[in-house]
Amino acid sequence: MRNKIVTGLDIGTSTIKVLVAERNGNEWNVLSFAQIPSFGLRRGSVVNVEETSKNIQLLLSGVEKDIGRRINSVFVNIGGSHLHVEPSDGLISVSRADKIISQEDIDRVLEATKSINIPLNEEILDVFPKEFIIDEQRGIKQPLGLTGVRLEAKVVLLCYFQSYFINLTQAVLNTKLQIDDIIPSPIAAAESVLSRQQKEIGSALIDIGSATTSLAVFDEGELIHLAVFPLGSANITNDIAIGLKTDVGTAEDIKKQHGTCGVKSAAATAGKKKMEVFENNYSLSFTKKQLTDIIRPRVSEILDIMQKELKKIGRQELLPGGVVLTGGGAKIPEIKELAKQILKLPIEVGFPKGIGGLDHDPALATVAGLILGSVDYESSGGVAMLGLSPGLFAGLGTKLRRMFRVFIP
């Protein structure tokens, strides 16, 4: 029997990344990885479908040549600040005469949680149960097979703006690829960098991309909050371009080569030394302090927003599993120290685990998580293609079936 091959496609604002991996027992090996600059997105959402399709096509054809076989379907991310969560609950009477809770009851109560008012142009992507309550007995994680009369569910609903979802699916489907599943970026990233234990005891993932920063908070193994903000590492580049009076390309190079959040004292004392870069036939000189004084306020601003969001959900300084930083923006030196000062929590930079050879780059957390998340997809019965799976994914299955009806002639 051939090993299972899965493709993850991370459509980001600065780059589109594709990873093809092969599963061998419990291990994943990389067959191919490639990335290209992305031009069809604005703040994490696909706004130019044609341009995005063209880039995906280009990327995929290179990877197909590399592995010598066709790629038919992908696990793809959805990002952008239109993604948001809403708390909700549902209540049903258990249907069987013997009052044993069946999967159908669980599906019904989760479906009931979706009866909330959301704007007309929004839809629910997924339902994340926080707890079930059986006849006022709280804190139940798995009600299947238990006995009761009233079954309640407390959930968070993940909502999205319809047009951006349509743009994303259209951009992928135009390339003749099928979609195995659509996973919100921070949930995919969390899959590759947060341990089961961290999710259990309470932890957060912060993905600092180029144009967005996403937060996903977990407790007792479940997602309890998710938010995406329209600010990322590209803002630092723009600040450098303005502050040092240079072009964006030079500013990006300066950020990557010399940038730091400058928290450690050694960096501060070395700060007065003049540095010089030569680019496009001209030279630019600045001190490390000058550069740090541009970078640190912007990184602090991003982390302050995260802190406020954690406060909003009562988790400020209350995450024993700590915070894991991912995305290309997490590569800026000394961000760990700055985040520790601002968030007052244990901080790590998250290098993707579980796929051989990827553990050096936090920018690969999302694409790696798309691959690792495919295991849940399998165990849920293959939602997107079959639309038959029980439980949580049924909603997404329905949604995708509808999208496929719309887009596949």
Residues that bind ligand ATP (CB under 6 A): 12-15, 44, 79, 209-212, 232-234, 237, 252, 255-256, 259, 327-329, 331-332, 363
Minimum distance from CB of 91 to ligand ATP (Å)?
38
Q: Which does 256 bind (CB under 5 to 8 A by kind): Mg ion, ligand ATP, none?
A: ligand ATP
- Least separation in angstroms between residue 41's CB and ligand ATP is 6
User: Which of 248, 331, 244 lies closest to 294 in space, CA to CA?
Assistant: 244
Q: How many CA atoms lie within 13 A of 160 on its CB side?
A: 24
Per-residue b or e along 236-258, where b marks 16 or more CB atoms closer than 10 Å to that residue's CB: bbebbbeebebeeebbbbbbeeb
- From the list ligand ATP, Mg ion, none, partner contacted by residue 252 (C-beta under 5 to 8 A by kind): ligand ATP
Of 110, 170, 200, 93, give the one whose Cα is nearest residue 407.
Answer: 170
Of 23 and 331, the one with the shorter C-beta distance to ligand ATP is: 331
Q: Which is nearer to ligand ATP, 106 or 330 (CB)?
A: 330
Binding at 329: pick from ligand ATP, Mg ion, none (beta carbon under 5-8 Å per type): ligand ATP
Shortest approach of ligand ATP to residue 214 CB, angstroms? 7
CA distances from 254 to 44, 184, 236, 284 (A): 24, 31, 11, 10
**Which H/E stretch holds residue 284?**
strand 282-287
DSSP state of 46: E
CB of residue 349 to ligand ATP, shortest distance in Å: 11
Token pair recorded at residue 114: 């979706």
CB of 104 to Mg ion, least distance (A): 38
Q: Which does residue 363 touch among Mg ion, ligand ATP, none (CB within 5 to 8 A, set by kind)?
A: ligand ATP
Binding mask 158-197 for Mg ion (x = CB under 5 A): ----------------------------------------
- Residue pair 226/158 in contact (Cβ under 8 Å)? The answer is yes
Judged by DSSP in three states, 90 sits in strand
Residue 169 touches which of ligand ATP, Mg ion, none (Cβ within 5-8 Å per kind): none
Closest alpha carbon to 240 in 171, 297, 161: 297
3-32: which residues touch Mg ion (CB under 5 A)?
12
Residues lying near Mg ion in the complex (CB under 5 A) are found at 12, 209
